Amino acid sequence: MEDYYWIGLKAVPGIGAVAFRRLLERFDTPEAALAATPASLSPVRGITPAVIDAIKAGAWKRSAEEECRRLESSRAHLVKYTSPDYPKSLFEIPDPPPFLYVKGTLRSRELAIAIVGSRRATSYGLLTTTKLSGALAGRGICIVSGMARGVDTAAHKAALHADGRSIGVLGCGIDQVYPPENRKLFEEMAEKGCLVSEFPLGTQPLAENFPRRNRIISGIARGVLVVEAAEKSGSLITAQYALEHGRDVYAVPGNISFVTSRGCNRLIKQGAKLVDCVEDILEDLPGGELAALDTPLLQPSPHSFALSPKEAAIYELLARSPLHIDDIITQTELTAGEVSSMLLHLELKGAITSLPGTHYAVLS
């Protein structure tokens, strides 16, 4: 029943990821937000009269009922941003989704590298992707990509072949197999790795979905490796998100005569790290010196924690940069007393640490 209200609140026209989280800051649960009076809804930033009317009209109820039926038959489940399994690295991006549709096992904290590139990859691009993805996965690094043709498919397959983990981030509903020839790979990913989507079930793989999907790829990963890309491609959008999110950007140099090399070569000119062997990536990661000797990387602490909506509001702010307590109060829907209480709770969970001068920061 809880899923019903989470899906229902997201289905209300005008409620995006930011408004969703603000409502939960104020009301604690989607059910309480949907049942709130117009007078209590109107002070919440971003909640316009049109949104309030849409909540009270109740059209979201039918959408939520249908989505819950589809969810049950799809063998997927929701991972909410308050869940211990929600990737905490997504709190570092500007608009983390309030929940993800998931098939397989999603982990809260996992050392991951995204590998992206051309759908029309050359044999050089496919061989390079297979080599690098397999080597990274063999060191215990999760490979993140977008399940598209070409480089994405090669990256996922190589990771699974190396008995590693891989996460596929979809630009469609999690019940849609796209491209259709990847049906077997979809099944293997759900069994041995993970498939995730922020799009409702039944959503078709429309072109406008993929740039939005790319921010999730970057958000989950520690760094993004571009293997082959034309000068205007989705892979470069992912690289741009990576820069905005403070991720490392890597690029494989290519033949200057190939169109699919121009994007990578330009990234290298602009400061992306040139990669011609897996050690170029490993040396930037925790335990990289050991990994260069074929020893698995020292993974970050597996410690995970659930968050209340109020705690999540603060954690999201601190995930981007340390802040003074007064700035936290200013930037949330919370009172000074609530902020002090939530900061204490987060410290006890091992999620954040206090710094001199009543500043706070997340623990990585």
pLDDT tens profile 305-335: 999 999 999 999 999 999 999 999 999 888 9
Domains 2-73 and 104-291 share a fold: no
Q: Which long-range contacts (CB under 8 A, 24 or more apart) does 232-241 make?
A: 232/263, 233/118, 233/263, 234/116, 234/146, 234/210, 235/116, 235/117, 235/118, 235/151, 235/263, 236/263, 236/267, 237/211, 238/114, 238/116, 238/214, 239/116, 239/267, 239/272, 241/93, 241/214, 241/215, 241/217
Question: H or E element: which one contains 164?
Answer: none
Whole-angstrom distance, CA of residue 87 vs CA of residue 352: 16
pLDDT tens profile 153-184: 999 999 999 999 999 999 999 999 999 999 99
> Domain 104-291 adopts which CATH fold?
Rossmann fold (3.40.50)
Residue 290: band (very low, low, confident or very high) from pLDDT cuts 50, 70, 90: very low
The CATH number of domain 309-362 is 3.40.50.1220: no
The CA–CA distances, whole Å, from 222 to 131, 146, 285 equal 19, 16, 9
- The tokens for 361 are 């920061």
Per-residue pLDDT at 352 exceeds 70: yes
- First-to-last C-alpha distance (Å) of the chain: 34
Residue 294: band (very low, low, confident or very high) from pLDDT cuts 50, 70, 90: low
3-state secondary structure of 328: helix
What is residue 286's predicted lDDT score, i.e. its pLDDT?
Answer: 77
What is residue 230's predicted lDDT score, i.e. its pLDDT?
Answer: 85
What's the CATH architecture for 2-73? Answer: Orthogonal Bundle (1.10)
Domain-wise residue ranges, the chain:
2-73, 104-291, 309-362
Considering Cα of 217, then 218, then 220, then 221, what sign does the dihedral take? Answer: positive
Per-residue pLDDT at 53 exceeds 80: yes
Residue 288: band (very low, low, confident or very high) from pLDDT cuts 50, 70, 90: low
Averaged pLDDT, 185-198: 96
pLDDT tens profile 203-232: 999 999 999 999 999 999 999 999 999 888
